[in-house]
Amino acid sequence: MKQLFTGLFLCLSITLFAQANFQGKAVYQSKTTFDMDRFNGRQMSEERKKQIKDRMKNMLEKTYVLSFTKEESVYKEEAKLAAPRAGRGFRFGGFGGGTKYKNIKEGKFFESTESFGKKFLITESVEKPNWKLGSETKQIGNYTCFKASLIKKTDALDWRNMRGRRGDDKKKDSTKTQKITKEIELPKEVVVTAWYTPQIPVSNGPGNYWGLPGLILEINEGRTTILCSEITMNPSEKIEIKEPTKGKEVTRAEYTKIMKKKMEEMREMFRNRRGGNGGRRGFH
């Protein structure tokens, strides 16, 4: 009986998605854990650790919305009004929230973002991810999801997977990690686990993830979990998906190079401030 019900539901889903003007919207909650002990946290009091974690909450816990058709999608952070509080919020390297656009049919991927007060339009060629499909299933809301996994190379700007280098780490040159700074390292690869549902036969998902025979409802990557909390099919208000056009057009490699250089400038600026020679640099 359960198999019959699932089969009927899939038939209805396929009929729904066959509509020429099909649209959908999925809301995702992203959470990243932070190991204070890997960043000299052992030398801090529990009260100080809590203060830092509270200040980092807006960076570690975010809500995103994926608006999609059968071929296109836009993924961006949900705008929200921050609660008033004393002091400054935590920011990482001047990076602002961006918009990720995918066109699966044409193989296009654009990311519109703002970093250090300058807008960039990052262009990438889209290659289908090399997913390994599994048979394991689990239920997410009303949807039956299947497991898939892949090994992903990390980006040098991927702060979510960065970690402090322990004393033992500094004594050896591991081929599995890359040195970001004297105190911070990044694994060269991470295992990504995805849970997708064929009940929504759209080859899409949050962020850069796509390429499975169904919408991805959950992603587990390193210390980050992205979980779908709400899905709306064919909302009454039409969704407008536009290809971003604003910002300096750069490739992913060019953007990474620019950001590395800017972060080095910031580190030098902070060193000068400690020595009494403060200054502020921007893009020219």
Flag whether 48 is in a domain.
yes
pLDDT tens-place string over residues 169-203: 545 555 666 565 556 676 678 899 999 999 999 99
Does residue 275 belong to any structural domain of this protein? no
- 100 inside domain: yes
* Full residue range of the structural domain in which residue 50 is found: 24-81+91-269
Least confident of 68-77, 90-99, 216-225, 234-243: 90-99
When pLDDT is cut at 50, 70 and 90, the band that residue 217 belongs to is very high
Instruction: Note whether residue 69 is domain-resident.
Output: yes
The pLDDT mean for the chain works out to: 78
Answer yes or no: is pLDDT of 155 > 60: yes
Residue 2 lies in a domain: no
What is the secondary structure of 158-195 as a DSSP string? -GGG-EEPPHHHHTS--TTEEESSSSEEEESEEEEEEE
Residue 112 has pLDDT above 90, yes or no: yes
pLDDT tens digit sequence for 229-271: 999 999 888 888 999 999 999 998 899 889 888 878 887 887 7
Comparing C-alpha atoms, which of 226, 194, 227, 196 is closest to residue 213? 196
Residue 40 has pLDDT above 90, yes or no: no
- If one counts the domains in the chain, the total is 1
pLDDT-derived band at 110, boundaries 50, 70, 90: very high
Q: What is the mean pLDDT of residues 154-180?
A: 59
Residue 193: per-residue pLDDT? 97
Residue 186 in any domain: the answer is: yes
| In-domain check, residue 169 | yes
* pLDDT given for residue 58 in this prediction: 73
Whether the per-residue pLDDT at 226 is higher than 60: the answer is yes
Average pLDDT over residues 79-107: 62
13 domain-assigned: no
Is 281 a residue whose pLDDT tops 60?
no
pTM, rounded to two decimals:
0.77
